[in-house]
A and B are shown apart, each in its own frame.
Chain A
């Protein structure tokens, strides 16, 4: 009965490779997010999708490309991986906003990406 799941949980790869992280939620939410947590534990939004439409795209290198095949899934593809991409990547989901009311976000378990 996992709410927000991510695969894989750990990913070790070499510089220059291309990799994907998958996220799925079974909460019926229509808004999904990707956050990055760096080595100092700082968390920052990367992307957000609402009903498969990109609504937030922070200053992220073009090597990062999110894809939402349906509103229950949001995948993150990273091209030409660099050492600085090593981090924990969190997927989250929520019901988004209704009028001025904002619903809380539920996080997945995170994917620890290590680039060597």
Chain B
């Protein structure tokens, strides 16, 4: 069975600094997708970034980028120039296999200090 592990329950970063959130996963599939979702206090789930496993190039979206290491089954999220609005719970998620259900990690609560 596929699993997603986020080993950092909480992280803190100073405004304008860079922070990296860790995620590892386990799967026997060769084709799959990985996602980072943000959940602010409003509880809305917002897609931050997505990575297709068949792509070697790491995905980037403005200040957000990933470090995808397929052999190591690692998928970390880097947030550059952190802003107060980045404070939220961040979930790593996996999708693969016969169905397109998302399997989530336990989340990392990110605090941004002014």
Instruction: Give the B-binding residues of A (Cβ under 8 A).
Output: 31, 33, 35, 40-45, 48, 55-56, 58, 88, 90, 92, 94, 96-97, 100, 102-107, 109-110, 112
Contact = CB atoms under 8 A, between A and B. Distances in A.
A105 B50 CA distance: 11
B31 A100 contact: yes
Please report whether the interface of chain A is mostly helix, strand, loop or mixed according to DSSP: strand
A55 B98 CA distance: 10
Given A42-B106, A43-B91, A43-B104, A90 B99 contact: no
Interface of B: 31, 33, 35, 37, 39, 42-47, 50, 89, 91, 95, 99-104, 106-107
B47 A106 contact: yes
Contacts, number: 54
A102 B99 CA distance: 10
B35 A104 contact: yes
Given A41-B107, A104-B35, A110 B44 contact: yes
A79 B7 CA distance: 36
B106 A41 contact: yes
B45 A104 contact: no
